[in-house]
Structure 1
Amino acid sequence: MKDIFVKGFTYGWNSSRGSYRTKQAVESLKKLKETGSEWIALAFYTYQETYSATEITFDYGYTITDRDIAFAVKQAKLHGLKICLKPVVNCKDGIWRARIGFPEEADFYWEKWFRSYTAFLLHYAELAEELGCEMLCIGCEMIGTESRTEQWSALIDNVRKVYHGPITYNANHGKEDGIAWLDKLDIIGTSAYYPVANEPGTGEETMMENWEKVKEKLAILHERFQKPILFVEIGCRSASGCATMPWDFTHTDLPFSEEEQADFYSSVMKVFWNEPWFAGFFWWDWSTELYPAEKAKTNTGFDIYGKKAEQVVKQWYKKPVIQKDRFHCKH
């Protein structure tokens, strides 16, 4: 039995082939480590053509390569970081991957898609095993697929034949309790983009009250499946109003507000840190190429480099985690 508490960030999302192997990426990873992080979620994606396509393809001109992944894993380990490998499928037509699906009666299409997705995932499960990655995430926010319990269960059984570390799945916030096969995982993961602000400028105290409501629901989920719960994604942009919609990346006209972002970070840390069933954070996200430090006060993205939220993370990530009565991960 092993305790896992993740003090981490997602690293390198939206990167293309070669991006992990640049001088800027190496320097960025060093700065990530300086936050007190102990983990990274190495998250990358390839495409299927449309939300209803049955084949997942590798784009040799764009997709992160195995060589890129091996380089990033080696660099991370040099800094003493553990790695959760997180391969993701996106839709080239721009439709959110949560919509991947077919008519319910179209079992033929589902079988083709799961055959392709299983092959995709087994490739990275083998790579995670070979590179010594300490966790594997087998999917992200794929709501339209989640009712296919038998196929997901078979996929997990196949993954376990080649990867022997802990396995998680990244559900979407508010949708976690609709997945019947969470008992097959070692850790239940979710994208915790819960809207904990009531309006722009909502303070930390109100956010904490709203996080308490989230915690009550997730405690019930833990009781049902007897698994630790990990925020595989969580974050909030440094822009006014973003704590009312932490998932948002489209409203680029919103004014800069590092206070709202910092309050979002601080409030959830205070509410969840010492819960015995809680397994930690992969904050969204840390880029391979950071903006210059002097531009931190005008950047309204998810990155926290040079912002107040970075100081919040440094303070919390230095804190010990109470191990007594903590819930154990199977692997």
Structure 2
Amino acid sequence: MRWLVGIVVVLLVAAVTWPRPDTPDGTAGSGAADGPRPAVAWQPGQPQLGVQLYWVDVPSDTTEVLRRKADRILDHVVGLGANSLSISFPFFTETITANRVVVDERTPSPERLAAVVDEARRSGLRVSIRPLLDERNLVEADSRNWRGRLDPADRDAWFASYRDFLAPYLQMAQGHGVQTVVIGAELNVLQTDRRWADLVEDARRTYSGELGYAANWDSFGQAARSVPVDTVGIDAYPRLGIPANATTAQMQLAWRRWLQQTVPSAPGDVPLYELGAAAEAGTVTDPAVPHTAGAPLDEGVQARWLGAACRAAQAHGLGGVYLWKMELDADPALADPVGDLHDSWVGRTAETALRQCFADWSAR
């Protein structure tokens, strides 16, 4: 029995001393994931090679169901060779000039978000969260509308509403070891507003990690000058003026030229927060279009575009890339390369190109 007692003592010591994920300020978080870390996990100074997980909540999902959904996504993310995850989730506004933001049952609560954050950290991934204004009702009112045209009639009221919306998510992020909170995305008209300074200062009272902002591809310079966060990244859908039959090398050259013009200095601080493309020829004309009904499937152009972008980002010395997107409710094992919407790269030729890029980038 003495040998059995010895084993129990060893196990108890291990349970007490096993390292726990830390909060951004270096203290153990109350919601930090227990259990052993994977053999390879993201470390500070490494590029962020990641996936954007888009989560429209299903309120009937229990916490256990959420964790199971997260686990099947995270298995695929880790298998891709990614070391980072950004969780994007929707919030809403009533009109393009409304003075407040709102949430509904589709917006995951901070408590439910924490359950998925914990699973991601348990997988060794660097974790960001990113609220993203859902623009469908805005587009329905006027096809020219999108989140970048949001222009509240009373900006004091809007920023106060937005601050109140962010506050509990910043508290969750602090307590659960989230490395980055991207506090805004693609708000072109608003991003020059002086009120960002007060909002950022208020956020720093709650959250000690990195604060980010995701600029639309055509307004990075303006955002970098105007939004006083730690990191301004790019949602990268540039129109590069190249044909759909361009080779990977030609696409990579076009991407390099665009990056050199867009991010000429300190690129190591800049990630591509969104990198996506549809598997159809039209993606080179407007990469932001996710799916064109009736357009023929073209896996090759998607693979060349995304592979070239990833390679160009690495060559330019960017801080990393996040692939747009995987959805929490999707099961990667059931991906249908022929029938899925064209913006999905899961199970398609592009996934092989991206996996190889991540592997090569990680090896450097």
Normalization by structure 1: what TM-score? Answer: 0.86
Q: Would you say 1:98 and 2:138 are equivalent positions?
A: no
Query: Alpha-carbon deviation of 1:267?
Result: 0.8
The alignment partner of 1:319 has SS state of helix
Query: Alpha-carbon deviation of 1:135?
Result: 0.9
Instruction: Describe the shift of the 1:131–1:121 C-alpha distance in structure 2 as closer, same or farther (beyond 3 A).
Output: same
Moved more, 136-145 or 186-195: 186-195
Q: Would you say 1:46 and 2:91 are equivalent positions?
A: yes
Q: 1:179-229, CA deviations, whole angstroms, 9 ceiling, x for partnerless residues?
A: 364572222211111123523333222212211221211333x35xx8711
Q: 1:221-280, CA deviations, whole angstroms, 9 ceiling, x for partnerless residues?
A: x35xx871110111101122213211102512211111111101211122221434x101
1:130 to 167, 175, 181: 175
Report the number of matched residues: 312
Instruction: Describe the shift of the 1:3–1:51 C-alpha distance in structure 2 as closer, same or farther (beyond 3 A).
Output: same
Moved more, 169-178 or 91-100: 91-100
Alpha-carbon distance in 2 for matches of 1:13, 1:247? 19
Would the aligned equivalents of 1:293 and 1:305 in 2 still touch at CA under 8 Å? Answer: no
Q: 1:134-165, CA deviations, whole angstroms, 9 ceiling, x for partnerless residues?
A: 111010100110121x2011111111111111
Larger Rg: 2
1:160 to 185, 199, 204: 204
Would the aligned equivalents of 1:166 and 1:186 in 2 still touch at CA under 8 Å? Answer: yes
Q: Would you say 1:3 and 2:51 are equivalent positions?
A: no
Query: Alpha-carbon deviation of 1:24?
Result: 4.1
1:231 to 272, 275, 280: 272
Tell me the residue number matched to 1:304: 345
Describe how 1:29-44 pairs up with structure 2 within 5 A. Answer: 29-44=74-89
Tell me the residue number matched to 2:33: none
Tell me the residue number matched to 1:58: 103
Query: Alpha-carbon deviation of 1:321?
Result: 4.8
2:125 to 70, 75, 81: 81
Instruction: Describe the shift of the 1:14–1:213 C-alpha distance in structure 2 as closer, same or farther (beyond 3 A).
Output: farther
Alpha-carbon distance in 2 for matches of 1:295, 1:249? 16
Q: Would you say 1:284 and 2:324 are equivalent positions?
A: yes
- Letter of the 2:312 counterpart: V
Q: Would you say 1:316 and 2:354 are equivalent positions?
A: no
Describe how 1:20-35 pairs up with structure 2 within 5 A. Answer: 21=66, 23-35=68-80
Would the aligned equivalents of 2:191 and 2:226 in 1 still touch at CA under 8 Å? Answer: no
Query: Alpha-carbon deviation of 1:16?
Result: 4.2
Tell me the residue number matched to 1:143: 188
**What are structure 1's unaligned runs of at least 5 residues?**
324-331
Instruction: Describe the shift of the 1:86–1:198 C-alpha distance in structure 2 as closer, same or farther (beyond 3 A).
Output: same
Alpha-carbon distance in 1 for matches of 2:302, 2:281? 8
Tell me the residue number matched to 1:327: none
Would the aligned equivalents of 1:239 and 1:261 in 2 still touch at CA under 8 Å? Answer: yes
Which structure has more relative contact order (CA 8 Å, sep 6+)? It is 1
Alpha-carbon distance in 1 for matches of 2:188, 2:166? 17
**What are structure 2's unaligned runs of at least 5 residues?**
1-43, 140-144
Q: Would you say 1:116 and 2:116 are equivalent positions?
A: no
RMSD, aligned α-carbons: 2.4
Identity between Structure 1 and Structure 2 (%): 20
- Letter of the 1:214 counterpart: W
Moved more, 125-134 or 201-210: 201-210
